[in-house]
Amino acid sequence: MSSVSRGRGTTTAIQVLSTIVLATGLTVAPQALTPGHPASAADVSCTTYSVSTYVFEPATSSNAASKRVLHKYMEWGPKSPDTDLLDTLYTASLPMTSKVFTGGGNGIIYEATGGGQVKSYKDNTATGGSLLTPVKTYSFNWSSAKQILANGHWILVIASDGTMDVYKQSSPDSGDGTITKVMDGAKSSVTSAIADADDAWMINSAVQWLKDGTIQQAAVTSLPPGPANLPPGPGIRLEAATSIATGVDAAQAWAPGPNAISTQSVTSDPDTTGQIRSFTTGPWTSADSDVRSGILGDVMADAGPCLTDPDQDTVPYFGTPPVADTDVPTAQESSDTAPSTPSNTITGRFTLGSGQPASGLTVMVTASDVDTGSDTATGGTEPLLGKATTASDGAWTLTLPSTLPANVKQAMDDNGGALNLNATTTATTSSGVQVLGADTLTAVPEQSKTALAAGTDASARAAEAINDNHTVPLIPDTVDDTAAKEPTADQEKQTFAAQTKADPQATGEMTPMWQSDHSTLAASYNPYLVGGKDISAETVTPHASGSCDTVKYKQTSKIKYTVVGEAHANWDSKASFDYDDTMNSAIDTAVNSNGDWKLGGSMQISSETGVSTGYPNKGSYYAHQYQVPIEYNKYKKQRICSGTVRATWYTIEPGRYKVPSGGSVGKIGKDVSAKDGSGNYGRAPKSYHAKVDNGTYFQLTRKKSAKFGNAVNFMGVGLGVTTGYDTNHKQKIIAGTRRNATHLIWGKNGPVHDKPGVFYSN
């Protein structure tokens, strides 16, 4: 059976218990391997087509008292072209100092603790139980072992110097038997090679190991019992090594069963690292070159004695086979084709930090897309489109000019008829603290009407762009150039945004409202603490209105690849994501007026790109995000009234689609197949379920996508993105033609015919 441990340490001196030694060329005739599982089994009689596979994920802390997560997957059809690594969604935690290895095809998992014990567990998840059900604790100290390998009966404990102790488990099926040492300190060229390997594992009557891209194997044979006065005997022998494969691009490997090997490769790119591939042996042949990516940690399989291919008409599942849904409706897209409604009226609302209305404030509305002069020493002025005053409930309303300034009209036309606006206000609290209200919103003025014929892509984009009526709290305005200093490379690595970007697993939609670009903010962070006092509920006095300008200075511009969508294709299907000809995404903005960054509204980016990008017909078992290059800007902004600076703040704002020199027009992002599969389907509300009939397709071409949180990291700040679907921006799935199962999908946020955001696949 396959099992793996990757601990480091030195072996301790131990007493020799047997005169039987492990040595190349030993002349004692080998006997059959101790029964437990046969060395191999004919495929015709085999029923194993999925194998429990465990990932002991990397530590997330340097604290020795912290935990690591053991995550269970199922490797489905390891030898077939339809190989998949199903996420069972079962996890457990173990000490960071422990070593973990599987016990040989019976759902037995062992933990070698740092405190000098060995614990056995039973995996009962297939019947709804615990991943780690305690079975027995043994008094063995294997904490310094370099490799621990097991096939059920035999457990090989190999030290870093190549010496090997051999133990025998009397009850491998239950993990509660007697573990007896039968060989002590044996050493040969084979055990030394295993100790020096990048990875090693055991499968039935063989030990296999990976070193510098080469996989080798040594057969395991039993030796006859020693003399009666030298218990306990018998021992084993590792035969001479033979080569299985060379030139293997992998950091580690494992055998899910006989004549099958899976590998994991690691790169510096979080979007491609942890890639799983599957192979068959004899001869070495690729079964699936892209099973899944984003899997990091120590991988080990609870390998079976044999493998066969699954029935092609069986949808992959974990545990009990799913009962077919008989009343699932066929997926249909919404018939809502209502055009956008251009309007010159925009609205919003400002509150105190406590949520109470902030009345009597003067709100200045400026056109944010006009950038002229911002890269000069004197800065550029954002065109003022009007002023409003907040009512008793904090709400404000403004009617835009019937004729926009020429530069504003040009910016709007360049953005597909959507006009991005900044609404700002300033005030002073009762204790004298300056506060700022900053909102970013998008309008579609009546001047856009001629370009927005009903049913056109321009109409669809503009309809999704309108996002007025925001409610925004005032925040302290205490920042200066020192507090807003850009982070160093080391500081940025410590931020939530950078750590999320470096994580090979997409972390969902939870982008924090408040972020530091120098570190990770504490969970108790309170932006309203000024001088040790919480000013969130203090009354505010508006600044006197007058002749004021909003002047902005561009400080930094960078092109960053940004998630704009994803598509999913699980069993017997193909996925496509299209992002053609134009931008059509709303991207978060951020404002810094107190030393940290607060996400605010969003800006609609709808400019022409002139390129078709995305990915077509990928799968089966494929689900990835997609990224496009967008330029982001950091601005310093000031409210200047009659020559006096009334307020200073900093913003992060998206610019335009821009391909870097030598860069890609778009690229594949992180693997998100963890959102697919029968387990997730069963957890979704039944009203979200739908089916795609064999040989047909379904696509989203209307409404907004779900918000892709942490879609980009710009200088240590994570921003979210929402994409509007239309005929040029869509998620699509094509169902295959296998006979005996229905292809099922479900919406993330609702039924697939009514604002699902994205849809997933089973």
3-state secondary structure of 410: helix
What is d(CA 517, CA 508) in angstroms, rounded to the nearest whole number? 20
What is d(CA 752, CA 743) in angstroms, rounded to the nearest whole number? 14
What pLDDT was estimated at residue 224? 67
3-state secondary structure of 272: coil
Poorest-pLDDT segment among 104-113, 171-180, 292-301, 458-467: 458-467
What pLDDT was estimated at residue 740? 67
Average pLDDT, stretch 173-179?
Answer: 95
3-state secondary structure of 407: helix
Question: Residue 231: pLDDT band by 50, 70, 90 thresholds?
Answer: very low
3-state secondary structure of 514: strand
What's the CA angle centered on 726, arms 564 and 655, to 5 degrees? 40
pTM for this one?
0.88
- On the question of pLDDT at 6 being above 90, the answer is no
Poorest-pLDDT segment among 474-478, 647-651, 752-756: 752-756
DSSP H or E segment with residue 398: strand 395-399
What pLDDT was estimated at residue 457? 67
- On the question of pLDDT at 90 being above 90, the answer is yes
Q: Are 523 and 340 in contact (CB under 8 A)?
A: no
What is d(CA 578, CA 616) in angstroms, rounded to the nearest whole number? 8
What is d(CA 583, CA 529) in angstroms, rounded to the nearest whole number? 40
What is d(CA 184, CA 220) in angstroms, rounded to the nearest whole number? 16
- On the question of pLDDT at 230 being above 60, the answer is no
- On the question of pLDDT at 472 being above 70, the answer is yes
What is d(CA 151, CA 221) in angstroms, rounded to the nearest whole number? 13
Hey, what domains does the chain have and what are their CATH numbers?
A: 43-301 (2.120.10), 345-761 (no CATH)
What is d(CA 519, CA 38) in angstroms, rounded to the nearest whole number? 55
What is d(CA 351, CA 455) in angstroms, rounded to the nearest whole number? 38
Q: Are 747 and 687 in contact (CB under 8 A)?
A: no
Poorest-pLDDT segment among 32-36, 127-131, 204-208: 32-36
Q: Print the SS3 string covering 462-498.
A: HHHHCCCCEEEECEECCCCCCCCCCCCHHHHHCCHHH
- On the question of pLDDT at 669 being above 80, the answer is yes
What pLDDT was estimated at residue 459? 67
What's the CA angle centered on 710, arms 706 and 715, to 5 degrees? 145
DSSP 357: B
- On the question of pLDDT at 117 being above 60, the answer is yes
Average pLDDT, stretch 170-191?
Answer: 94
**DSSP states along 544-581:** PPSSEEEEEEEEEEEEEEEEEEEEEE-TTEEEEEEEEE
- On the question of pLDDT at 496 being above 80, the answer is yes
Poorest-pLDDT segment among 12-21, 255-264, 553-562: 12-21
Give strand pairing partners of 166: 156, 183
% of the chain beyond a pLDDT of 90: 70
Question: Residue 37: pLDDT band by 50, 70, 90 thresholds?
Answer: very low
Torsion sign across C-alpha atoms 18, 22, 28, 33: positive
% of the chain beyond a pLDDT of 70: 89
- On the question of pLDDT at 162 being above 70, the answer is yes
467 vs 286: which has the higher pLDDT: 286
| Residue 397 CA: distances (Å) to CA of 38, 41, 295, 391, 470 | 78, 76, 50, 9, 11
| Identity of residue 189 | S
Average pLDDT, stretch 334-357?
Answer: 84
Q: Are 538 and 429 in contact (CB under 8 A)?
A: yes
What is d(CA 757, CA 762) in angstroms, rounded to the nearest whole number? 17
Q: Which tokens belong to 566?
A: 């994803």
Q: Are 197 and 252 in contact (CB under 8 A)?
A: no
What is d(CA 26, CA 34) in angstroms, rounded to the nearest whole number? 19
pLDDT tens digit string along 613-630?
999 999 889 999 999 999
- On the question of pLDDT at 41 being above 50, the answer is no
What pLDDT was estimated at residue 610? 85
726 vs 731: which has the higher pLDDT: 731
| Residue 312 CA: distances (Å) to CA of 289, 549, 622, 693, 742 | 19, 67, 17, 17, 13
Q: Which tokens belong to 69?
A: 């997560």
pLDDT tens digit string along 261-283?
999 999 999 999 999 999 999 89
| Residue 686 CA: distances (Å) to CA of 254, 579, 679, 752 | 38, 30, 13, 11
Average pLDDT, stretch 717-745?
Answer: 90
